[in-house]
Structure 1
Amino acid sequence: MVANLGYGTLIITFLVSIYGAAAAYFGARKHQSSWVDSARNAMLLTFPLLTITALSIIFLLVRGHYEIQYVTEVSSNSMPIYLRITALWGGQAGSLIFWSWLMSAFATAVTLRKWDRDREFLPWVILVSLVTLAFFLILSIFVENPFVSFWQSATGNITTAMFHPAGTTLYLPQDGNGLNPLLRHPGMIFHPPMLYLGYVSFVIPYAFAIAALVTGRTDDRWIRITRRWTLVAWLFLSLGLVLGGRWAYDVLGWGGYWGWDPVEIAAFMPWLTGTAFLHSVMIQEKRGMLKQWNMLLIILTYDLVIFGTFLTRSGVLSSVHAFAQSAIGPLFFGFIGLTFIVSLSLLNRRWNDLKSGVEMTSWFSREALFLLNNLLFVGIFVVCFWGVIFPVLSEALGIIGQKIPSLAGIFTGQKVTVGPPYYERATGPLFAGLLLLMGVAPLSAWKYSTSKTLGKAVWKPFVASLIVLIFLWVTGTRSWPALLGFWLCAFVVFVTLYEFWRAALARHNTRAENLLQALWNLAGKNRRRYGGYIIHLGVVLMALGIIGIEMFQTETQGTIPQGGEITLGQYSVRFDSLAVFDTADGRNVARAVVSVYKDGKYVGELHPRRDYYYEAQQPMTLAGVRSTMEDDLYVILVDWQPLSTT
């Protein structure tokens, strides 16, 4: 009953989406506002309908309806309620519904805004949003249906179908397989929703960009309307990436936050182009420049959002983050190609209209430095895109080797793996360039700026950063990449603090406010600028962590008896005991107790363990971690042997 309700509302939502898109197009072409209003109502209806669909799945998961294939795949009796709820996005079919539900929520929210000033945008924003939503609903209805049930024939064969096949009865398993152990970490409660929120949020500025192209609006109105939507998208996508890194650090057991995994990179690529877009739109707002470039960036970001979803769900790439092989891959690929071609066609039609008569007057101006910032972001994107797509191309181009035997040695058809060394060597200098620009660009001026004026503004933070560099050298740091990275971080910090100090002091002198009040009022009046500075400081903290991992991480491994020790740098770790036991939630836990000493002094106890999930028949390694402001000690239990009795 509940499954039929969920599936029925899913189909109704799809039909409503198709109607709304058609009504919006017809109303725009015929200039009939009644059709546009009808399309708007259809858009508003999709959210409550998909809410019913999502709640139906959650009900089935919580109540343990294992006759439903999806429920059996991602839940079990031993799972707590909160994990059964989050299992909505723990599998392929459920995650597509969750994506669609969030898409309808954001599209509904933007539809509710006042459209008096921008009425011509409305039908095209609805059209783009509903076409995107309809595509994901097609996947859920025809390929990855979360409401399919198990049916058993008279001969005992088990089949799956949405509706009752003739000669079968409903098959009800006593328990499910349970959620993938890697997805039972608390971080996975928030990591996927944050990524999905970032993904669907970027659909909104893309929809307005397409509306501007169709209607011929060449001003920056669409950018000003979507500024907050872009910031929200960037924020959620950033949080999703950070939470994913924390999950990897806790669960995957390799002692790092980022492994240049293909699916990690798939989520990183729209962040790169989206961040470039956030910076470049300021140039269009301030100087009326880069209109064509901004259109291209938001089109690219939208299709990278779909591309990232495609890589995760098609199974085309091997990854710990990816779902299994699925038939939705070709559909995703076709939709990406279609939207990219249509978007570029519209951009090409308006290309001349988007040309700006304003020229860049100085290569030291802020707009020039922002443009260089954009090129560096796009350069990192190109490196990442090539690294992700090359394994697929190397396998696909094997056809050439089969057709032309003389080229068989080149086009072997084997999937070539691109590893972290490629990404680190190719992107390292580009990231360093971005850090440098984070320090220089805030001190440059719009429109007119020279090397002399920029030098006068930058020399104080530069000298302060050199003092940090000298201090690091004197205290024993000799790695030149580490010294360069620390200097860049120090330079950005001093520039940012200098900007805060300079502005607060000026306001203090003119308004007779104390410095803290002046700083608070400044931030309140120009939240965009000073909020950006705070983000820059956060990026510096991340950069310091990356430098520490890449340049100073040390590791060792060994077999130690009970009471034995292993030493690494300042630390000594003593193995005290090991306990192996079963838990009420279906796990076999092997938990070690180790004592940690630093410079011979006892500093605490860690408990690395390995959990084996009987239902999923999969192990999960959980490290014992001691975190301080200075360093992390990361201890993993790899294997163990019983004590000998002889």
Structure 2
Amino acid sequence: MNSALGQGLILLSLATATVGCILGFAAGRSGSAAGLRWTRWLAGTYATSLILANLVMEYALLTHDFTVKYVDMVGSTSSPTYITIVSLWSSLEGSILFWGMILAIYIWGFLATTRQGHERMTPYTLATVLAVGTFFSFLIAGPADPFSAVQPRPDSMHTGPNPLLQNHWLMIIHPPALYLGYVGMTIPFGMGVSALLRGELGASWMALTRSWMLVPFGFLTAGVVLGGWWAYEVLGWGGYWAWDPVENASFLPWLTAAAFLHAAMLEERRGLLKAWTVVLLLVTFALTILGTFMTRSGVFNSVHSFTQSAIGPTFLVFLAVILVISVLLVGLRMHLLSDEGSLGSPLSRDAAFIVNNLLFAGFTFVVLVGTVFPLLAEAVRDIKLSVGAPFFNQLSVPIGLTIVFLMGVGPALPWGRTSGKEAASLLWVPLTTSLILGALALALGMRQLWPVVTLIVSLFAALVALRDMVTPVSALMRRRGLPPLAAASLAFRRGRRRYGGQIVHIGVALVVVSIAVSSSYQVIEEGMVPKGQSLTIADYELRFEESRSFREPHRDVLEAQFTVLQNGREVGSLGPRLNRYSGQMNPIGTPAVLSTARQDLYLSLMSVAKDGQAAGLRAFINPMVSWLWVGATVMVLGVLIAAWPRRRQKPATKAAA
């Protein structure tokens, strides 16, 4: 029953998406109000059918209906309930189904926010979104069908989802956050296609599209960082980012989306980079499809990717169609994409934003080439190549630091023309302060070049952001005599988008400093530690007390208990683990981490002697890692503030005569 019901709902979604797509394009061309109403109804039906299909799959998973293909693949009667629920996105077919549900949620959000107004933009936007929905419904109905009826395998073969996905609670929130970022890019993409088809590329379209881009950008930011946190807490190598192909796949659209958000501001305020902004919007969506292909085709060897599948070529065809249509649309509307303004001065916010965008493009190119080139080399010349972290670090660190520096220069300068004297007066206080603090860091023992440069540049950007937030408050206090809290509240309400952007910049500064310090000053020690003896790392002693084995519902656990002493004083205990899952030959480690504001003590258990009298341990001291998670949280908070919709003004009522 679950198989038939699920397949019926997917076929309904495919039919409504196809018809709605055709009708939407027709309504956009003819301006038919009735056609728009039908398109909206079909879009709502499509979204509802996909949400219901996901609920049917969840019901099948929770009731262990092994006659459903996907449940037979990832289900297990021994898995905890929360693992059973999140196994929906633990493998290829379920993840594509979940992709469809996220798109359905965004469609309902778009329908709800466009009930009044935007009649000229909505038909083409919905038609484009439903075209994307048609593709994914086709995948779910055909090559990635999770609802096929099967003969259940023996119960001993029902081992649950991928063990790496069962090993930490972050897998509950990391994939949904990433999906909300990836899939959400469909709505701005649809708006971009609509604007190009209608030839209406004014400031009002850009403002609305930018607002819609902020939502998936915030989720993508959270998803990328949560992926790094998952790697840090699960993989046991002491790091959080390895330039893995699938990590890069999520970072690429983040870079172009960030570039778009800055370019859109320049177009709104100065009428510059109109064509470039549209291209960034289209490329961002194309990169999300490329990222989906990289994760789900199995062509890249990664702990984040799914196994080999047959849908890879289908994704490549879809990506090619998107690129061809995008190029054609931009080419046909190029006469409408000429800049309306001009660059007033190289010492201006305009110029800083332009250079900033060029650097984002360069960063994207470096990551894309380093990620895709090995695959192309193998496909064309049958040569296996590997592009490692040194390549990415050597090229991306200078580009990234220059972007952070311009993140301070841009907001410090006004729009339009600026004299050299005025620019110097605006920049010298934060720049001098950051240089003094950098010199202080040198005096305190920070000797490596790149961390010192990173600290100076990040402090400069953060100081500019703080000044930009304080200046309107102090101005209101002087002009209106308002108390500080009232002035801050009024300034925030008036410039919420600006405040959100500056909060994001402060978060970026925290993240960049954390990455520089943690990667440059990491300390590593490893060894076999006899029971009652200690492994020393910096000012810590790690005394091995005992090992113990126990059974959890879905795994066998081997844990080693270590007492942690710092400068001879006991500060806690840590229990790194080795987890063994059914059907898995090798155990999967769970590191134990003692986090402070200054540093993390990170223990990864390598082995335990058969008699339990010794444990193989790898220990890391990772400075300032906790500030990476704090900075990312600040970034997401800033995006949320910037994206929060403005309160609608109530229409004025005429006084009674």
TM range (shorter): over 0.9
Tell me whether 1:635 sits opposite 2:617 in the alignment. no
**Cα distance in 2 for residues equivalent to 1:483 and 1:118:** 50
Trace 1:351-370 onto structure 2 (pairs within 5 A).
Answer: 351-370=334-353
Sort the Cα spacing of 1:487 and 1:178 in 2 relative to 1 into closer, same or farther, 3 A.
same
Alignment correspondent of 2:360 = 377
**Cα distance in 1 for residues equivalent to 2:350 and 2:269:** 9
Alignment correspondent of 1:323 = 306
Give the counterpart of 1:466 among 424, 428, 435. Answer: 435
Q: What residue identity is the alignment partner of 1:182? A: L
Q: What residue identity is the alignment partner of 1:517? A: A
Contact preservation (8 Å) 1:365, 1:447: yes
User: Deviations along 1:601-636, whole A, 9 cap, x unmatched?
Assistant: 211111011110124445221111110011101011
User: Deviations along 1:469-512, whole A, 9 cap, x unmatched?
Assistant: 12112112211212111111221222222223333222111111
Q: What residue identity is the alignment partner of 1:427? A: S
- Report how far residue 116 of structure 1 moved: 5.5
**Could you tell me the TM-score, scaled by structure 1's length?**
0.92
Q: SS at 1:639's partner residue?
A: strand
The worse-fitting range, judged by mean Cα deviation, of 11-20 and 562-571 is 562-571
The worse-fitting range, judged by mean Cα deviation, of 513-522 and 284-293 is 513-522
Alignment correspondent of 2:226 = 243
Contact preservation (8 Å) 1:181, 1:618: no
Alignment correspondent of 1:53 = 53
Q: What residue identity is the alignment partner of 1:545? A: S
- Report how far residue 449 of structure 1 moved: 1.5
The worse-fitting range, judged by mean Cα deviation, of 220-229 and 599-608 is 220-229
Alignment correspondent of 1:421 = 390
Trace 1:171-190 onto structure 2 (pairs within 5 A).
Answer: 173=155, 176-184=158-166, 185-190=168-173
Q: What residue identity is the alignment partner of 2:111? A: T
Q: What residue identity is the alignment partner of 1:549? A: S
Tell me whether 1:343 sits opposite 2:326 in the alignment. yes
Q: SS at 2:605's partner residue?
A: coil
Alignment correspondent of 1:392 = 375
Q: SS at 2:527's partner residue?
A: coil
Sort the Cα spacing of 1:571 and 1:335 in 2 relative to 1 into closer, same or farther, 3 A.
same
- Report how far residue 330 of structure 1 moved: 0.6
Q: What residue identity is the alignment partner of 1:464? A: T
Q: SS at 1:65's partner residue?
A: coil
Trace 1:67-216 onto structure 2 (pairs within 5 A).
Answer: 67-114=67-114, 117-151=117-151, 173=155, 176-184=158-166, 185-216=168-199
- Report how far residue 175 of structure 1 moved: 6.1
Q: What residue identity is the alignment partner of 1:602? A: E
Alignment correspondent of 1:430 = 399
Contact preservation (8 Å) 1:178, 1:616: no
Give the counterpart of 2:423 among 447, 454, 469. Answer: 454
Trace 1:588-627 onto structure 2 (pairs within 5 A).
Answer: 588-627=556-595
Q: SS at 2:238's partner residue?
A: coil
Alignment correspondent of 2:66 = 66
- Report how far residue 270 of structure 1 moved: 0.3
Alignment correspondent of 2:654 = none
Alignment correspondent of 2:508 = 539
Q: SS at 1:602's partner residue?
A: strand
Contact preservation (8 Å) 2:541, 2:565: yes
User: Deviations along 1:167-209, whole A, 9 cap, x unmatched?
Assistant: xxx7674662211121122111111111111112111111111
Q: What residue identity is the alignment partner of 1:181? A: P
Q: What residue identity is the alignment partner of 2:442? A: W
**Cα distance in 1 for residues equivalent to 2:579 and 2:131:** 44
Alignment correspondent of 1:155 = none
Tell me whether 1:261 sits opposite 2:230 in the alignment. no
Please, what is the CA RMSD of the aligned residues?
1.6
**Cα distance in 1 for residues equivalent to 2:35 and 2:79:** 48
**Cα distance in 2 for residues equivalent to 1:43 and 1:337:** 25
Q: Please, which runs of 5 or more residues in structure 1 have no aligned partner? A: 152-169, 399-412
Q: Please, which runs of 5 or more residues in structure 2 have no aligned partner? A: 614-657
Q: What residue identity is the alignment partner of 1:68? A: V
Q: SS at 1:325's partner residue?
A: coil
Q: SS at 1:150's partner residue?
A: coil
Alignment correspondent of 2:620 = none
Tell me whether 1:306 sits opposite 2:306 in the alignment. no
Tell me whether 1:292 sits opposite 2:261 in the alignment. no
User: Deviations along 1:246-304, whole A, 9 cap, x unmatched?
Assistant: 11110011111111110010011000000000111001111111110111000000100
**Cα distance in 2 for residues equivalent to 1:467 and 1:515:** 29
**Cα distance in 1 for residues equivalent to 2:566 and 2:512:** 26
Alignment correspondent of 2:640 = none
- Number of equivalent positions: 612
Sort the Cα spacing of 1:644 and 1:117 in 2 relative to 1 into closer, same or farther, 3 A.
closer
Alignment correspondent of 1:499 = 468
**Cα distance in 2 for residues equivalent to 1:644 and 1:593:** 11
- Report how far residue 109 of structure 1 moved: 2.1
**Cα distance in 2 for residues equivalent to 1:28 and 1:489:** 47
Q: SS at 1:636's partner residue?
A: strand
Q: SS at 1:555's partner residue?
A: strand
**Cα distance in 2 for residues equivalent to 1:177 and 1:484:** 50
> Relative contact order: is structure 1 or structure 2 higher (C-alpha 8 Å, sep ≥ 6)?
2
Sort the Cα spacing of 1:175 and 1:62 in 2 relative to 1 into closer, same or farther, 3 A.
farther
Sort the Cα spacing of 1:630 and 1:6 in 2 relative to 1 into closer, same or farther, 3 A.
same
**Cα distance in 1 for residues equivalent to 2:74 and 2:293:** 21
Alignment correspondent of 1:43 = 43
**Cα distance in 1 for residues equivalent to 2:475 and 2:40:** 49
The worse-fitting range, judged by mean Cα deviation, of 350-359 and 234-243 is 350-359
- Report how far residue 467 of structure 1 moved: 1.9
**Could you tell me the TM-score, scaled by structure 2's length?**
0.91
**Cα distance in 1 for residues equivalent to 2:419 and 2:258:** 26
